[in-house]
Structures are given as C-alpha cells and as structure tokens.
Structure 1
Amino acid sequence: MDKTVIFLGAGASKADGAPLQRELFKSYFKACEGEKLNENFDIKHSKVKGLLDRYFKNFFDFTDNFDYRNAVFPTFEEALGILDLAIERNEKYRSELGNLYKYRTALIFSMAQAIQYKIEASKNGIQGESHTKLIENLQDELPKGNITFISTNYDIILDNALGSKFDVDYGFYHLDDLDNIKNGVKLLKIHGSLNWKYCPVCKHIEAKIEQKGTLSIVDNPGSVKCDYCSADAQYIIVPPTYYKDMSNVYLANIWNNAEKLLREAEHIVFSGYSLPSADMHIKYLLKRAELNRGRNSKFKATVINYYPNKIVGAIQKEQNRYSRFFKNTSDVNYVQEMSFQDFARNPFQVLE
C-alpha cells in the first residue's frame, strides 16, 4: 500500500455527531438546558453561561435574556479571534467590557461542552460509529505504519477509536527524538485537543484517552494539576483564526512532523475538509509539503467531503478550490458522491 496520510476535517466529526463551527454556540446554550447533561457534569454552567451572556451583550449588542434559538451568533473564529489578537498585542478594550482571558476561557469551555453535548445527543446513539468502523477496517494495515492521521478537530472521537486497539502517537516530540517516540499509530492534531494536559511550569504534557474524559482539562480551569510538579495545568487549543500562536514546543513539533508526513506521503486522503480560504496556515503547510518533496517524488490526493443534500454549487466551488491550489491538478481526485461514512465502511475502495 502507498504511504498514506488521512487528513480529517470538521466534516468527519460531524458525521459522528460533533457540531460544525457555526453550530457551536447554539449547541452550547441548548446543552445548558439539558437536565441530564447538567447532572453528569458538575462544571458550574451558570458562571460560564453568565460570561458568555455578557460577552455577546458587550461585544455584539445582544439583548438581555436573548433567545439563542433565533440569535445570529458570530462564528467561533470571529468570537475568539478578536480576543486573541488583543491578547497577543497586549491591548485592551474598555475596562467595563470585562476580562479578556475570562471570556476566552469561557468560549473554549463552551466549545468543549457543545462538542460533548452534540456527540452524546447523536441520533445513532453510538459515539464515534464511523470512526470506529474506519479503524476496524484498517486494523490490519495500521500496525505496518503506512497509514497515519492528521486532524484539525479538537474532539477525541478518533482518539477513542484508535486508542481502543492501538497506542496513539500524537507527535509531541521531534521525529529524531527516538527516546520519546511511541510505537503507535500517528495522530497529529494540529489545532490541539481537548484531552491534552500541558504544564507551563515544568513543560510536561500528558494525553488521556477515555470515553468520558473529553472535558477533564477544560471543565474546571485551575483544578487540574500537573502530575509532576503539581502546578496548574492548561489545555492546548489553537482557535481557527488567522492568528495562531505556535510558540508551544509540542505544538511546533506536531506541525513539523505533519509537514514531514505530508512531504513523504504518496497518497493524501482529505475527508470532511473543504480547504476553506481562511485556513492559510494549513494551505502553507500543504504547499510546503508539495513543493519541498524530492524531485522524483509524486503524490496523489483524494477528496471525500460529500453529505446528503449537499448543494451542487458548493460541491463545484470546493472542487475548484482543490484543483486551483495544487500544482498538478491531474493528481487530485475529487469524489463527488462519497461521504466520510462511505469511506469508513469501505476505505479500500480509495486506498487500493
């Protein structure tokens, strides 16, 4: 089999119940109404919800007690981006608007809660059904090391599916650092993950894979401690904004390792990823991997991003983006009527 990278975007997680970016805030406010969810997670909803209410009121002129069902929310990228840029530039808004760090934490928390809520409320009732089916179908090939994963998603649907059968190597360390590399399937999550625990004091990082552990890092900031030095641990989440803070050494290693995997890949399968215009960092990553290959090294790309009732115009625009971006368009195969679920059920119709 060709050396293959499976590159997963939000559409893949959407297939198993996770919300898209534009659905995050409505999903969170709906989660706040769920009695069962509030019983399962003792995470002080009222404090976070109060911060979000204040944020939308102060920054986007929402009214008191607005109806989230009919509200027109900013995108998660917009909401977080205007905070991240102010923090990065060490600038502030008027003091009465509130603490930017608290707003940022509340936004991250709401994203995590929305993801968890939507996955649990998934109609099929089985968490990660398509991801699990994909791993089951690939389980004989994965130990050979020819198939690796890159994901833009924060959720741990794929992590759980992989972790039930294999060790997972998140690519935290440089590929030349043989002492720290796991003998597992590589899953490089270039935007961070909800199950990573990072200590800014001793710089230790830990990742836990467990079905009910998605929110363990972000549910109660300040309560999660480093196992080595007992300092307050942090999450690593890179928002989908133009500004991306890549200063964390582990995140930098992940991006470097992702570029290496893409550069060496003979086949890249994009699933659930539309190559949006705003993702300039990913486009830069892909272009470097394409142009810095060996002179005689070629690759093919397969794009799988169909879903029921997808508009024909949207399909054509997406196909044009992929064809326009890569240098050799003849090596890009855009499969118009294959969904992530289809790919998971029979991956070898694409991989062989």
Structure 2
Amino acid sequence: MNVDLYNIEDLLSIAYMEFLINKNSKSLKQITDFIKVVVESYSEDVDLQYAEFFARLIANVQSRRGNARYHLGHDTFDEFIPTGKFFESTSFGLINLNYDLLIEKSLQSVLRNISSYHIHSKLESPYIEYFTPKKKIEFPGIPFAKLHGSVEKEIIPPTWNKSINKEIHEDWELATNLLTNATHIIFLGYSLPHTDNYIRFLFSSSLNSNKRLKRISAITLDSGGQTMQRYKAMFALDFHFHNSNLDQFFQFVSGLSSEIDFDYFDEEFTDYIAQQ
C-alpha cells in the first residue's frame, strides 16, 4: 500500500487499528514511546522566548510593582501585583494539537519569574489563577484543551475513538465549548493535515451552534499553496489566510500599545507584514 511511513499520524492510526482488531498494543506502545523520546529530546534546547511571550499573551494580566521587597544575599526580589486584564474585553482559550509541553513549561516559567517575591517569602502567588491551564470554562485559569494527548501522559492516535483515554474526553468537551462560544478563531502554525480530518467535523459540529463567531484566521507558512487550499475548502465565509511565520505574529502582537481589536485584526496584521 502507498502509506507514508514517515507520517506520525498514519503510523499511529495503523498501530491503533492493529490494537483494536488483534488486541496487540506492542506496535502502538513502540510508536508512542518513540514519539515521546523525539519530542522530549528536541524540546530540551528550544528557546522559550516566543513561547513565554505567548504564555504572557494568553494569561492576559497586567501588573504593577508593589511596595514589598525580599532580600536574599545580593539579590532583591520586588513584589508584583496583578491589576486585572491587559485586554479588558478579551478572553483567550487555547486548543493545542501538539504533543510537547512548551506552552505548559512557558506558563510555569513566567509564573515563577513574576512570583519570585512570593516564592521566596513563602506566600501564595496571586498570579497562579492567571497562568494555570484548566479543563473547565468556569474554573480560574486559561482554558487549555490538548486534543492529541501529551508526552507527560498519553499520546492519542488521530482516530474517532477518543475513549482510549478517559481524560481526553475533558479536552474535547472543552474544545467544543470554546469553539461554540468563540467570537474569533486564529490558527497559529497549523497546516491542517489530511490526517487530522476529524478536526473538520469537530469544527462543523461546534460552529453549527455558534451564534457569535465573526471571523476565522490562519497564520502559517505555505510555500506551495496547498495549506491555504485545505483551509479554504473547510471554511466558506469570513476566513482570512496569512502566509506568514509565527515570528511575525509575535512581533506584531508584542508591538501593540493598546488592546487588540479582533474585528480588524486581519487588516492590521496584513498591513504590518507589508511594511516589513
């Protein structure tokens, strides 16, 4: 058969089918273990600069310097206090289709840095609720759905049967909730591969009940035009595609001095790219 043996999703799907039919999980375990080793090995030396900036963006919190300080030898740790949202009229939710822990580690890193005074003073950080991933909309923290599992727990094959791990049901439920209530959806660095075809039906099901959605955007490199065509085949209206790398997105957002007006995000981002 004409199967791409270098495609992780194809390998996972074949191994999972073997597991369902023959109850033999050896291949599935070998492949998932291999993926974990590769992801963890390549994540060790990754520069977290942009990931940490993204963590600050989705945490959406403003701070001010407090009056207290903690002295430890030659080091001084200033108190910082949250003063509310950075983007007052915006709430962020995240649907992650990666296996790695870069965003989770970045959230933890930023939390540690901004909470240095509280950590050394042995006080509970008031920033915990801003930088903690959550699985329920009503809980404090960042709504964070991870649809493919994670290297820290279990990697989920790209199949319709997500009951292989009961924990993953919460992630899919949260993703559905986020998509159903979103006003703007932005894809970052996602090529919409054909092996993720079930994502199309997740969106179809969720957006069918969405009465608030204004537009959908995608920001990803696309040298041959195939990625854009897959997106345009999936979304009929109010869709905007940006053939751009994520560096430009982060530079654009980091340069903002006021709240993002997502009703004009695509026009402003297009102008920004043209000026570079």
Instruction: Tell me what 1:345 maps to.
Output: 251
Matching residue of 1:335: 242
SS of 1:150 mapped into structure 2: strand
Structure-1-length-normalised TM-score = 0.54
Note the C-alpha offset of 1:136.
3.1
Q: How does 1:5-154 map to 2 (within 5 A)?
A: 73-89=5-21, 91=22, 100-122=24-46, 126=47, 128-138=48-58, 139-140=60-61, 141=85, 146-154=91-99
**Whole-Å Cα distance in 1 between the matches of residues 44 and 252 of structure 2?**
25
CA contact (8 A) 1:194 1:236 kept: yes
Take 1:339 and 1:323, find their aligned partners in 2: how far apart are those partners?
A: 19
Distance 2:86 2:170 in 1: 22
Which of residues 140, 151, 156 in structure 2 aligns to 1:238? Answer: 156
**C-alpha contact 2:19 2:28 (8 A) present in aligned 1:** no
Name the aligned partner's letter for residue 129 of structure 1: Q
1:317: Cα distance to partner?
A: 2.1
In 1, are the aligned partners of 2:18 and 2:25 still within 8 Å (CA)?
A: no
Q: CA deviation at 1:142?
A: 7.1
After superposition, the C-alpha distances for 1:267-307 in whole angstroms (9 at most, x for unaligned) are 1010111222221221111111222223xx3321111002x
* Cα distance in structure 2, aligned partners of 1:318 and 1:106: 30
RMSD (Å) for aligned C-alpha atoms: 2.6
Aligned match of 1:259: 176
Q: Structure 1, residues 133-159: CA drift from partner, whole Å, max 9, x if none?
A: 222345434796701111001110011
User: What letter matches 1:169 in structure 2?
Assistant: P
Shift of 1:258: 0.7
Instruction: Report 1 or 2 for greater relative contact order, CA contacts < 8 Å, sequence distance ≥ 6.
Output: 1
Task: Map 1:290-329; keep pairs closer than 5 Å.
Answer: 290-294=207-211, 297-306=212-221, 311=223, 314=224, 316-328=225-237
The size of the alignment, in residue pairs, is 211
Structure 1: distance between partners of 2:186 and 2:49: 20
Going from structure 1 to structure 2, the CA distance change for 1:248 and 1:142 (only over 3 Å counts) comes to farther
Whole-angstrom CA distance in 2 between matches of 1:244 and 1:80:
13
Are residues 335 and 156 of structure 1, via their aligned partners in 2, closer, same or farther at CA, if it must alter by over 3 Å?
A: same
Q: Unpaired runs of 5+ in structure 2?
A: 62-84, 112-129, 266-276
Whole-Å separation in 2 of the counterparts to 1:143 and 1:350: 9
* Secondary structure, counterpart of 1:293 in structure 2: coil
Partner Cα separation in structure 1 for residue 173 and residue 200 of structure 2: 14
Residue identity over aligned pairs, in percent, reads: 20
For 1:210-240, what per-residue CA distance to the aligned partner results, in whole angstroms no more than 9, with x for missing partners?
xxxxxxxxxxxxxxxxxxxxxxxxx33212x
Partner of 2:191 in structure 1?
274
- Amino acid aligned to 2:218: V
- TM-score, scaled to structure 2: 0.67
Q: CA deviation at 1:73?
A: 4.6
- Cα deviation for residue 341 of structure 1 reads 2.0
8 A Cα contact 1:142 1:185, kept in partner: no
What is the match of residue 274 of structure 2? none
Which residue in 2 is equivalent to 1:288? 205
